[in-house]
Amino acid sequence: MYEGYETLLIERKGKIVTVTLNRPQVRNATNPRMHQELERIFPEIGADPDAHVVVLTGAGSVFSAGGDLAQMQRGLDDHARWNESMAEARRLLTNLVEMDRPVIAKINGHAIGLGATLALFCDVTIALDTAKIADPHVKVGLVAGDGGALIWPLMAGHARARLKLLTGEAISGAQAAAWGLITEAHPAEALDARVDEIASKLASGAQVAIRGTKRALNMVVRQQIDVLIDAHLRLETMSHLSADHREAVSAFVEKREPVFTGR
């Protein structure tokens, strides 16, 4: 069990499984391999009778920088791969929400784009108070369709979500906690201890009750996925085909400001 992973580090100590996004050389940005491994890992943990709690975190000092823009540039014209990634995104979110083991996101550094989405779909979110949390899809000419436009309004309210998703602006972990976007924020010296405390409490609790409660809490989220996510992903796909997205990716790779034309 938990074999064959290249971009995720899987460790189980007692009843707690820690899943670490493990591409520190690119700030744990996702590539196709990580996308596929994230889709696979949650059902595998759900089939492990000795796993009671999951901690999701990032290697090094960043949770995840989101999508790998260099990879995006290489795949601009690979529409088959794009369609596969959209299908994977739907399954990934569904698997995370459907798995009955509680998942704690230890946001040990910046959580951007898909990184933020992954963290926010977790059941408990504990962040470094200075971490930046953002969904800057619009800054690279994309619709925030792979979960951000669904989960941000549910957690922080529509007014705040609209501002941050339409501008792509980041907020700190401390501000995210004040908004209710995440559970708690702590300074670096307290983060690990707080996550360990919560994980230990959940691991030793009444599992039938905890797992049933997670299912009950996530019924609204799952309903939103079923009703909305396909339309959100189609909107993101439309923006993937835009000239503005191509310009944004090229500008990032060339280290210059993008010039958007609205096409």
Question: Predicted confidence band at 130 (pLDDT cuts at 50, 70, 90)?
Answer: very high
The percentage of the chain sitting over the pLDDT mark of 70, rounded to a whole number, equals 100
pLDDT of amino acid 151 = 98
Q: What is the DSSP string of 98-113?
A: H-SS-EEEEE-S-EET
In whole angstroms, what is the distance from residue 242 CA to residue 258 CA? Answer: 14
pLDDT of amino acid 80 = 85
pLDDT at 18 over 80: yes
Segment 64-122, tens digit of pLDDT: 998 877 777 776 778 888 888 899 999 999 999 999 999 999 999 999 999 999 999 99
Q: How many CB atoms lie within 10 A of CB 216?
A: 9
pLDDT of amino acid 78 = 80
Lowest-confidence segment of 37-51, 114-128, 182-196, 238-252 by average pLDDT: 238-252
Domain at 8-203, CATH class: alpha beta
Task: Over range 24-35, report the average pLDDT.
Answer: 95
Element (H, E) at 9: strand 8-13
CA angle 224, 215, 150 (to 5 degrees): 20
pTM score, whole prediction:
0.96
Backbone angles phi, psi at 31, to 5 degrees: -125, 180
Backbone angles phi, psi at 227, to 5 degrees: -85, -35
In whole angstroms, what is the distance from residue 115 CA to residue 139 CA? Answer: 16
Segment 147-181, tens digit of pLDDT: 999 999 999 999 999 999 999 999 999 999 999 99
In whole angstroms, what is the distance from residue 116 CA to residue 57 CA? Answer: 11
In whole angstroms, what is the distance from residue 72 CA to residue 23 CA? Answer: 16
Question: Predicted confidence band at 252 (pLDDT cuts at 50, 70, 90)?
Answer: confident
